[in-house]
Chains A and B, each alone.
Chain A
């Protein structure tokens, strides 16, 4: 089985799409991919294929022409900022992860449009495009990006203050300030230490100390501010985290050092402050950078709805308007293939609708006058006029989003291990300091203050505070290289030795799109390619999901004489070369020839003389689904399927995968109930899904993983995203969850024992400042090194073997559609 040069998908049997790319022969799965690759080659950018990350390939999808609408000035207006002779738009591409894709996105625009300026950012996955007014429309730019295989989404101007970018920038600034001034403080400290061994004039010591004090000021009052803020927030909400001991240590060390500087007393700790803040800034910055930002909920919704709608005015004139201009009581016209822009009631016509987005069920539903139609559903056949009842956030789809938000806030933020240790830690240290003070007041009252201070400072939880963020940063970076993007680090803590994994069926365990498994009962006189071409021509304009299976077999020589007619729940009929054909369920097809044929679940093609061919259409399992599910169970986890599809289809998949616990016809509410029941039993539930209807469930479970090709709403409500078409990275997540937990525990154990030892020695009055400084540095470096070891872990053997399975055996497992 060959793989498509462009999207890395399997190339179906019996198709032949080849081109020459960079001098090599390239094979494609469909015309869409071929066109995209040729477009890239023609622009001289085919180098992209050599440099992109493999997992990213699966996110490139053939183009869909839906962007013309943005060339309309009124519709584009909310997305474009005009300034002088320039216009600026921000385009969000949810799949813009790998550097080569960022390069391709900006180069393709620059090669197609004159004097265009593109600033791309793979962190926020946004393109900032500036181009001269009057040269090209926003729609042209989006269309150009979509021809390559991206799914661009313009961002409404004004909403783009981008708090995430501001956070990121201020983190860098703090890091740099801590670094530059930290170096100064270290240099001065080196002088002071040298003086301690060789002797130094008191005036020189004072000068160096005052200079250190000055260099530490920006560190304390700029770089360390987030820790103080975090500590205050923690105290106010009664959940003191690691920021509390950090702030306490910083405040004490700084105050003590400042007082000692002014009173010429013993010991200053400016170097320790500088190093501590510097390391914390580095680790938190790395963690921030490694964690991928989740999709914005608002944008995720916007991506599911069309950009425009057709409004029928009171005089009966139809007019295309931007989605945001749709108002309550407007009359909207929808045609086959359209996505409904707002909730409404049908006032005219009847249609078959695909409500998969809402219900998760891939069967078409018919709606007639008086019925409710929901935003985000796709019209399969027939046309409707509907009166808008609800728009935007008030739609049912908007309700789903709010459900997601509420579920997420219910789940709350799990405090990490270090944070949970923080409160007892602070109390213990304060108690020890108190006891030390009392004891020393009996032994030698003159040494109370220096000894108590050194106890507090040695107890400074550097290593303790560094353990979690450094480990998370390394884990997130390593996982990203292996095709998993972490959006919430919490998932690593959630996965336990025994976890229940709830899978959605369509698009998660299976590929989520139909493919032709077999063609049989071909009538004599027809060849296999003939019947496929006829079927493809008939299905060409059908918005039904089964039509996608025939798409690769479209043939320029075989075209329907006129657009085919679609009968919901039955099939398609049309005329090719003057002959009438029907394709669909057996009853519908045989009605044309007045013959009989038992309905065995296949798709039939027939003409006026009877059946011409039978197609077996399957939604094939993902190549590594069997292997992954087996590995999960071998590790002691439970696997459950919860799907919106019919019993037969789900049972077939469950049998393939040897899963005993499966649920069919599950609505999003059923799924929620299932997850809640499991959690009530004390189980840890990890949901793996891909659809918008999965979003509330994803948010409600202990942790959620979305498959990268899923909807933006699913991605927005998950803790990790698996990029690409393979399920195996799920095992990586589990492996890393365990490994990072071990690493954190090891680091914490080390840090705790170091602190315990240091504090006891300090309480006895045996610790001098330079010892404390070396001890602190050494233990912090040890923790960082421990975390870095994680990045070097090899892929486990079981995963390597599943990678080989990525090319599936010739005989695919049979799944009924």
Chain B
């Protein structure tokens, strides 16, 4: 019984922690655009060589 009490408390604490982390991320704008970052990584990757060239010159 006591261990159940402890575990429930712990679960709620962790749930609260995650909620706080999510709230922070939303406030920071991490979730504002959920479409382009997925493509961005592909585009950036492909372009890498020419970017390096540009930086070297």
Chain A interface (Cβ within 8 Å of chain B)?
43-45, 47-48, 50-51, 99-100, 102-103, 107, 111, 119-123, 165, 168-169, 172-173, 176-177, 180-181, 183-184, 187-188, 203-204, 207, 211, 214-215, 218, 289
8 A Cβ contacts from B19-54 to A: 19, 22-23, 26-27, 29, 31-36, 38-40, 42-44, 46-47, 50-51, 53-54
Q: Considering only CB atoms and an 8 Å cut-off, how many residues of chain B contact the other chain?
A: 32
A-B contact count (CB 8 A): 87
Distance from A150 Cβ to chain B, minimum over Cβ atoms (Å): 15
> Pick the contact of B53 from A44, A50, A121, A214 — CB < 8 Å?
A44
Assess the A99–B36 pair: CB atoms within 8 A. yes
| CB nearest neighbor in A for B37 | A99
Distance from A25 Cβ to chain B, minimum over Cβ atoms (Å): 18
Assess the A184–B26 pair: CB atoms within 8 A. no
**A111 contacts which chain B residues (CB < 8 A)?**
54
> Pick the contact of B43 from A100, A123, A184, A207 — CB < 8 Å?
A100
| CB nearest neighbor in B for A128 | B29
**B4 contacts which chain A residues (CB < 8 A)?**
204, 207
Assess the B53–A47 pair: CB atoms within 8 A. no
> Pick the contact of A184 from B11, B31, B47, B50 — CB < 8 Å?
B11
Assess the A51–B39 pair: CB atoms within 8 A. yes
Q: How far is B33's CA from A51's CA once the two chains are assembled, in angstroms?
A: 18
Q: How far is B53's CA from A107's CA once the two chains are assembled, in angstroms?
A: 16
Known: A44-B47, A187-B11. A168 touches B32 (CB 8 A): yes
Assess the B15–A181 pair: CB atoms within 8 A. yes
Assess the B19–A177 pair: CB atoms within 8 A. yes
Assess the A184–B36 pair: CB atoms within 8 A. no
Distance from A226 Cβ to chain B, minimum over Cβ atoms (Å): 16
| Interface of A: prevailing SS | helix
**A215 contacts which chain B residues (CB < 8 A)?**
12, 15
Distance from B32 Cβ to chain A, minimum over Cβ atoms (Å): 5
| CB nearest neighbor in A for B46 | A47
User: Given known contacts A99-B36, A184-B11, A218-B19, what 10 new A-B pairs fall within 8 Å (CB)?
Assistant: A99-B38, A99-B39, A120-B36, A121-B32, A123-B35, A169-B26, A169-B27, A172-B26, A203-B1, A211-B12
Assess the A122–B36 pair: CB atoms within 8 A. yes
Q: How far is B34's CA from A216's CA once the two chains are assembled, in angstroms?
A: 28
Q: How far is B13's CA from A332's CA once the two chains are assembled, in angstroms?
A: 67
Assess the A211–B33 pair: CB atoms within 8 A. no
Distance from A331 Cβ to chain B, minimum over Cβ atoms (Å): 45
Assess the B22–A207 pair: CB atoms within 8 A. no
Assess the A44–B51 pair: CB atoms within 8 A. yes
Distance from A103 Cβ to chain B, minimum over Cβ atoms (Å): 5
Assess the B39–A100 pair: CB atoms within 8 A. yes
Assess the B19–A207 pair: CB atoms within 8 A. no
**B40 contacts which chain A residues (CB < 8 A)?**
99, 102-103
Assess the B43–A51 pair: CB atoms within 8 A. yes
**B27 contacts which chain A residues (CB < 8 A)?**
169
**A45 contacts which chain B residues (CB < 8 A)?**
47
Assess the A51–B42 pair: CB atoms within 8 A. yes
**A204 contacts which chain B residues (CB < 8 A)?**
1, 4
> Pick the contact of B36 from A102, A169, A173 — CB < 8 Å?
A102
Assess the B36–A47 pair: CB atoms within 8 A. no
**B18 contacts which chain A residues (CB < 8 A)?**
180
| CB nearest neighbor in B for A201 | B1
> Pick the contact of B1 from A47, A48, A181, A207 — CB < 8 Å?
A207
Assess the B22–A122 pair: CB atoms within 8 A. no
Q: How far is B35's CA from A181's CA once the two chains are assembled, in angstroms?
A: 27
Assess the B12–A47 pair: CB atoms within 8 A. no
Known: A44-B53, A45-B47, A47-B47. A180 touches B26 (CB 8 A): no
Assess the A176–B34 pair: CB atoms within 8 A. no
Q: How far is B11's CA from A105's CA once the two chains are assembled, in angstroms?
A: 44
**Could you name 5 residue pairs across A and B whose Cβ atoms are closer than 8 Å?**
A102-B33, A120-B36, A176-B22, A176-B26, A181-B19
**B44 contacts which chain A residues (CB < 8 A)?**
103
Distance from B21 Cβ to chain A, minimum over Cβ atoms (Å): 10
**B51 contacts which chain A residues (CB < 8 A)?**
44
| CB nearest neighbor in B for A41 | B50
Q: How far is B34's CA from A120's CA once the two chains are assembled, in angstroms?
A: 11
| CB nearest neighbor in B for A168 | B32
| CB nearest neighbor in A for B21 | A176
**A211 contacts which chain B residues (CB < 8 A)?**
8, 12
**B36 contacts which chain A residues (CB < 8 A)?**
99, 102-103, 120, 122
Distance from B33 Cβ to chain A, minimum over Cβ atoms (Å): 5
Assess the B43–A120 pair: CB atoms within 8 A. no
Assess the A180–B19 pair: CB atoms within 8 A. yes
| CB nearest neighbor in B for A111 | B54
Residue of B4, B12, B43, B54 with highest tally of chain A CB at under 10 A: B43
**A177 contacts which chain B residues (CB < 8 A)?**
19
> Pick the contact of A120 from B1, B11, B33 — CB < 8 Å?
B33
**A51 contacts which chain B residues (CB < 8 A)?**
39, 42-43
Q: How far is B12's CA from A188's CA once the two chains are assembled, in angstroms?
A: 11
Distance from B38 Cβ to chain A, minimum over Cβ atoms (Å): 7
Q: How far is B54's CA from A103's CA once the two chains are assembled, in angstroms?
A: 18
| CB nearest neighbor in A for B49 | A44
